[in-house]
Structure 1
């Protein structure tokens, strides 16, 4: 039961995008279409989950025993870059159309601050392997949820009559702020 609460808390209460403000670039950049947002969310979810587990293993079996914790960020970036390359290869072979629709945002998962934030926060919080795994998966779940909800909001806004001063990015940021306020309501859950 504690792990379920930990997972829900990570996805909703401590959402990477709306609470930590990490990963805003792909949310703003890819969220104009629902299918592209879901695909980007799932691709990022894969990297966040596997990256959270792998980074814990690297931290506890390589960096700490060798006393080289000062290369933590570099090690995580190399790890995440390798995972993104693997995922990009799989998507290119499995779905070329999806690969084209994600475009430049797919390789940019490597530099997504939410992806690197997961292992760094997990290390700071001194998570166990199970908690690091759940933290990576919960963060990925929350990221994907925000991507899909925000894409739905932006698709609706594209059909709405928005004042000229708010058209485009301004209304997107206002919507993101309202979505963040909504997620703050989950704070009383856990």
Structure 2
């Protein structure tokens, strides 16, 4: 009887060890792959929106003409973060780096003595990319595109010892195209 007791106990311990190993491996896999899965899901969701905008040109303007302005204001009140802030948040712009006209500073941080500023505005993605390419070249910066997709681009600008990363993201909120520009000192 005691022999079967020990065999059963050993089998239970082995099963528990395998279960713990499986959980640890599963958690490791999910934490490694989750950012990639989320990025893929974001791109999958963005593609139908882009196709709808291409297939239905002018729909946004027609909807704006039909919807009374009061309704848009009500939605902005009900949905937190639906509207852009009317003025810049605290902090400061990075000296020597232009800001696209009409954009609002929505975030500012200093990490490891490097400034990090985010701007947002109701403007076209392509116009913002062209603006920064032109303005940074005028200021003597060289550009390197380090990542690009239809809705997001990352550029690194260098001039002497100064290196700046710009992450440009196209979003749509309440039927409006918005662009977010994240500027980081490297």
The TM-score, its normalising length taken from structure 2, stands at 0.23
Q: Which has the higher contact order (CA 8 A, sep 6+)?
A: 1
Greater C-alpha Rg: 2
TM-score by length of 1: 0.23
Higher strand fraction (1 or 2): 2
User: Higher helix fraction: Structure 1 or Structure 2?
Assistant: 1
